[in-house]
Structure 1
Amino acid sequence: MTESGNPDHGNASEYTGSHIQVLEGREAIRRRPGMYIGSVGERGLHQMVYEVVSYAVDEHLAGHADAIDVTITADGGVRVADNGRGLPVEVQEPDGKPAVERELTETSFGPKNRTGYRLSGGLSGLGLCVVNALSTRLTVEIHRDGHRWTQEYEKGLPITALTRNEESSGHGTAIMFLPDDDIFETTPDSFAMLSQRLRELTFLNGGLAISLTDERPGRAGRPVRHHHTDGLRAYVAHLGPHPPSPVHSPVIAFESENEDATMFVQVALQWNTRSTGGFHSFANSTRTHEGGAHEEGFRAALTDIINDYARRQRQIVAGDEEITAEATQEGLTAVVSVKLAHPVFEGSTRTVLGNPEANAYVQEVVREHLNGWLDQNPNDAAAIIRHILKAFTEQGKS
């Protein structure tokens, strides 16, 4: 501004397009790591682990892997190995790079067709690339096509060609990475926090086994192994009060996939007489702490179903006040997990699911299956309604 208050355009020619800096690829990731993994502290380090594990979970969802081994190595690095198909190694046009190298270096968002995943977690296909860019060193080892293959990277750039080694009858991928201490404020990973998240993933993906080992000096101990064939049923039991105080037993659980196979919904719930494990929602195995469309669909359907059933059974009659959503959730432990081909997350934190179709389909699934369960289990259903009506009455007195 000039002294008169009018803008001074005299130096406009000094501000040109050359002053605008556009960061691309690994440079953008390394300069702005928080945009991709949330922080450069411990939370960001954990996200690095989860992104590599997400690839292995995708292999499980595609029906090709049932075991993942995570190791915190003695030097503070992390190794994630799975028994899936192994990352593709064939050379691809037009750049003539091996598919694995493109997977570890490309920064284009969105599903990558070469992986063949119908449903995918992590950073929309960008996770492995981000981990590579933020690591001082990364080594990938692949067993597929009858051989063991290896390639090494430094700070996101390949320093060796993809090498075909000795013959191998195995299959799977192992990725070892050492987070860059020039980027991260801390290096140690919390074994307990990693174990908690890995256990959560086994609940959300029934039949998948994940082990965690710590090889750091002074911390080495027996590996922890998580494996839950009952999936969300086991998760709800785990989240509920201890000792258990169920209004009904067993845990109610159901799942459904839409006609075009672009959305898979899993729900498990149980009412308890005391305390509660609360409500937990997930989209593509990512915890949606702030809810979103799938959570809204569940809550809306639940309130309607409880009111409709109570009226049909004359536990409330015409003229009675509608049971509130708060009362229907008294003592409730519930988990809703959706897996979508094209998830839309709101905000950089990826904690709100924005897909409106998830709301509609979750409502449809809950109405069909929970109504059916209540009709088929009248004694338990009556106990649930009594429990909810008691909470509703107490709510009105307060």
Structure 2
Amino acid sequence: MAQDYSARHLQVLEGLEAVRKRPGMYIGSTDSRGLMHCLWEIIDNAVDEALGGHGDRIEVILHEDSSVEVRDVARGIPVDIEPRTGLSGVEVVFTKLHAGGKFGGGSYAASGGLHGVGASVVNALSARLDVEVDRGGKTYGMSFRRGEPGTFGDGRSAPSPESPFTPFERSSELAVVGKARRGVTGTRIRYWADPQIFIKNARFEYDELIARARQTAFLVPGLTMVIRDERRLPDTPGADGPHEEVFAYSGGITEYAEYLAPDAAVTDVWRLQGTGSFTETVPVLDERGHMVSREVQRECEVDVAVRWGTGYDTTLRSFVNIITTPKGGTHVAGFDQALMKVFRKQLEVNARRLKVGNDKVDKDDITAGMTAVVTVRLAEPQFEGQTKEVLGTSAVRAIVSRVVETELSARLTSTHRGDKAQASLLLEKVVSEMKSRISARQHKETQRRKNALESSSLPAKLADCRSNDTERSELFIVEGDSALGTAKLARSSDYQALLPIRGKILNVQKASVSDMLSNAECASIIQVIGAGSGRTFDVDIARYGKVIIMTDADVDGAHIRTLLLTLFFRYMRPLVQAGRVYAAMPPLHRIEVAGGRGGKEYIYTYTEAEMRRTVAALQKKGRTVKQPLQRYKGLGEMDADQLAETTMDPRHRTLRRITLADAARADEVFELLMGTNVAPRKDFIVDSAHELDRERIDA
């Protein structure tokens, strides 16, 4: 068989067959990510119309029958006959690959769609797709089954991909299905993803859709995005009924940068705008339909919103014609190049005042605490692949770099009082970051040369362990000296270390870095773990394999645990990401059960519900339960044997691992619960008050 290989073994896939045979080539995957990519293709077509000034409202509806519908009030897909194919514009768009109005024909100055495959790919991968177009006072309609045009016999029942289907045989028909009001134009597309293509558990992610809709509304000022979820899925806002969210912003990317910024401001949001032109050799269709190469003049619009805050995290979003480019490209490279050039020049000019010395500023020093939205608009940008994650148009780099360099230099050298003060603070922050990086590197090198016995700078209150094996060692952060005394007797000093803290530590979400470092408790924790903090944190040199937060099982204990987790999340996040931070689970109750011959048995329970179930089960068996039950108010009420058996001994204890599945969502929650802005927290408490179980209040 291997020898017998000739031209008859070759397959030529025609039209949409190629898409169904190799869907991953067009949408990346056939799981939820691919399903969402199909939806973006349809939404982006509607957004391109709004970007061109046609239409100001887009609605996305997630129907209960697993279909999704996208509505716009733009120009509507052309319904007249396309002369080369003899098909209506609607059928060309949905059945022909590389067909559309975005190949330089003048319909779109800048668009997210480029390859003319988006709508046809979605059609090919749908069990059913219905499209309706309002144009010229009429409503035109057409249906497709897995890319093939025809009619569905729905009868009186709701439209379904399971309805009888009759394909068109001799010629296709774009039917007039109703009347449209005078002057009203637009498109409605509803489709059911094909279960033969997508995996069983693929579904539209509501949170991702909301984030994309909000982002699009920021990028296209004046556009209203409406998301409606009618699926009633559990654990979604629409679980109890249809849920609708509307997004509309007039501030553009300035407002977007303010929304993304996670920290207090050092500078205002600076808008850096400009244009540049370049020539490009591209193949175009001539009057006879032949492809010829011509040089064309392109215009590139650059629009950047950037601000710096007090934190050290960097938030960067980049877009080309409102299409997000998560892996960057030439526009981001140009932005980075300009940042380095401008700041190095400004630090050189102000070297004496800022006490820069001979050190060189690094990119990480500049981008610490920076939030930036980088957007460019140009006709027919070159992307790497249909998923459009990386911009490849080389000329854009120089244009973005020149615009950012010019505008940012003007800001940093401005004589305006407000700009001058902000520029001074920003340069001081960059120099501070640079010195912190160099100091941390030197400290790290020094630490690597030391062994555990040589280190004498650890806090006196640390009860360290004897083992130097990081994988095996554990650090218990315990609440108060009373718990420390019991824990010392309960621990295995070979591999379990204890660090007591006094009550509630500083809320680092509200505090500055300097306030955090000057706080004795926070500084002790960072010092004992020994891996640095913030941007310089190195999880590989942490002194302990597990960090276990052991607080009382009451409201105050929960608050202390939250404050400690805020410290870890904000300044030692890699430790959380590595799954090395835990919360101990001390019991709430001890149930004493009478045994035979005067013996006693002790059972520990960890929740109120578990205690009730256990007592009921024991009484049902005829066992005698001593009343009242012992309710532990704190760790100090336990003796060493009880604490070891229930909370510290690896053979019997239960630990709760702290995970970080969604960093962005976690960041939002920490900012809501622990941040400086009080009003959203008050709203959250008021809105969630009905979920409180009054019996859980220990009063």
User: TM-score normalised to the size of structure 1?
Assistant: 0.90
Query: Where does 1:163-242 land on structure 2 (aligned, <5 Å)?
Result: 163-164=175-176, 165-169=178-182, 170-185=184-199, 186-217=201-232, 219=239, 220-241=241-262
Structure 1 residue 257, shift from structure 2 partner = 3.3
Looking at structure 2, the residues matched to 280 and 189 of structure 1 have their Cα atoms a distance apart, in angstroms, of: 23
- Preserved CA contact (<8 Å) 1:67 1:83: yes
- Preserved CA contact (<8 Å) 2:332 2:374: yes
Per-residue CA distance 1:27-47 (angstroms, 9 max, x = gap): 001111111111111111111
> Structure 1 residue 371 and structure 2 residue 413: aligned?
no
Q: Hey, what does 1:390 align to over in structure 2?
A: 432
Structure 1 residue 298, shift from structure 2 partner = 0.4
Query: Where does 1:15-94 land on structure 2 (aligned, <5 Å)?
Result: 15-94=5-84
CA 277–66 in structure 1, closer or farther in 2 if over 3 Å, else same: farther
Q: Hey, what does 1:97 align to over in structure 2?
A: 87
> Structure 1 residue 357 and structure 2 residue 399: aligned?
no
Query: Percent identity between the aligned chains?
Result: 34
Looking at structure 2, the residues matched to 113 and 139 of structure 1 have their Cα atoms a distance apart, in angstroms, of: 28
Looking at structure 1, the residues matched to 144 and 103 of structure 2 have their Cα atoms a distance apart, in angstroms, of: 21
Q: Hey, what does 1:7 align to over in structure 2?
A: none
Q: Hey, what does 2:475 align to over in structure 1?
A: none
Could you list the runs of 5+ residues in structure 2 that have no partner in the other structure? 152-172, 234-238, 278-296, 441-699
- Preserved CA contact (<8 Å) 2:62 2:68: yes
Q: Hey, what does 1:322 align to over in structure 2?
A: 360
Query: Where does 1:300-315 land on structure 2 (aligned, <5 Å)?
Result: 300-313=337-350, 315=353
Looking at structure 1, the residues matched to 204 and 180 of structure 2 have their Cα atoms a distance apart, in angstroms, of: 35
Looking at structure 2, the residues matched to 153 and 206 of structure 1 have their Cα atoms a distance apart, in angstroms, of: 34
Per-residue CA distance 1:216-271 (angstroms, 9 max, x = gap): 24533331111221121122112111xx411112x112333334553222211111
- Preserved CA contact (<8 Å) 2:272 2:303: yes
Alignment-mate amino acid for residue 253 of structure 2? L
Q: Hey, what does 1:381 align to over in structure 2?
A: 423
Q: Hey, what does 1:257 align to over in structure 2?
A: 275
- Preserved CA contact (<8 Å) 1:52 1:128: yes
Looking at structure 2, the residues matched to 177 and 255 of structure 1 have their Cα atoms a distance apart, in angstroms, of: 40
- When structure 1 is superposed on structure 2, of 54-63 and 155-164 the one drifting more is 155-164
- Preserved CA contact (<8 Å) 2:44 2:112: yes
Structure 1 residue 84, shift from structure 2 partner = 0.7
Structure 1 residue 349, shift from structure 2 partner = 4.8
Looking at structure 2, the residues matched to 109 and 331 of structure 1 have their Cα atoms a distance apart, in angstroms, of: 44
Structure 1 residue 318, shift from structure 2 partner = 9.8
- Preserved CA contact (<8 Å) 2:104 2:380: no
Structure 1 residue 215, shift from structure 2 partner = 1.3
Structure 1 residue 313, shift from structure 2 partner = 4.3
CA 378–313 in structure 1, closer or farther in 2 if over 3 Å, else same: farther
Looking at structure 2, the residues matched to 139 and 269 of structure 1 have their Cα atoms a distance apart, in angstroms, of: 42
> Structure 1 residue 266 and structure 2 residue 308: aligned?
no
Looking at structure 2, the residues matched to 210 and 115 of structure 1 have their Cα atoms a distance apart, in angstroms, of: 26
Query: Where does 1:128-143 land on structure 2 (aligned, <5 Å)?
Result: 128-143=119-134
Looking at structure 1, the residues matched to 355 and 55 of structure 2 have their Cα atoms a distance apart, in angstroms, of: 52
Could you list the runs of 5+ residues in structure 1 that have no partner in the other structure? 1-9
Structure 1 residue 200, shift from structure 2 partner = 1.6
CA 283–167 in structure 1, closer or farther in 2 if over 3 Å, else same: closer
- When structure 1 is superposed on structure 2, of 333-342 and 30-39 the one drifting more is 333-342
CA 92–122 in structure 1, closer or farther in 2 if over 3 Å, else same: closer
Q: Hey, what does 1:150 align to over in structure 2?
A: 141
Structure 1 residue 374, shift from structure 2 partner = 2.3
Looking at structure 2, the residues matched to 11 and 206 of structure 1 have their Cα atoms a distance apart, in angstroms, of: 60
Matched residue of 1:159: which SS?
strand
Matched residue of 2:413: which SS?
helix
- Preserved CA contact (<8 Å) 2:275 2:403: no
CA 68–42 in structure 1, closer or farther in 2 if over 3 Å, else same: same
Alignment-mate amino acid for residue 266 of structure 2? V
Looking at structure 1, the residues matched to 106 and 126 of structure 2 have their Cα atoms a distance apart, in angstroms, of: 23
- Preserved CA contact (<8 Å) 1:51 1:123: no
Q: Hey, what does 2:161 align to over in structure 1?
A: none
Looking at structure 2, the residues matched to 11 and 195 of structure 1 have their Cα atoms a distance apart, in angstroms, of: 52
Structure 1 residue 167, shift from structure 2 partner = 4.2
Looking at structure 1, the residues matched to 333 and 135 of structure 2 have their Cα atoms a distance apart, in angstroms, of: 43
Q: CA RMSD in A?
A: 2.2
Looking at structure 2, the residues matched to 155 and 312 of structure 1 have their Cα atoms a distance apart, in angstroms, of: 64
Q: Hey, what does 1:4 align to over in structure 2?
A: none
Looking at structure 1, the residues matched to 318 and 195 of structure 2 have their Cα atoms a distance apart, in angstroms, of: 34
Per-residue CA distance 1:155-187 (angstroms, 9 max, x = gap): 111115212232432111111111111111135
- When structure 1 is superposed on structure 2, of 80-89 and 260-269 the one drifting more is 260-269
CA 254–221 in structure 1, closer or farther in 2 if over 3 Å, else same: farther
Matched residue of 1:352: which SS?
coil
The structure 2 residue matched to 1:248, chosen from 259, 267, 279, is 267
CA 34–309 in structure 1, closer or farther in 2 if over 3 Å, else same: same
Looking at structure 1, the residues matched to 117 and 367 of structure 2 have their Cα atoms a distance apart, in angstroms, of: 37
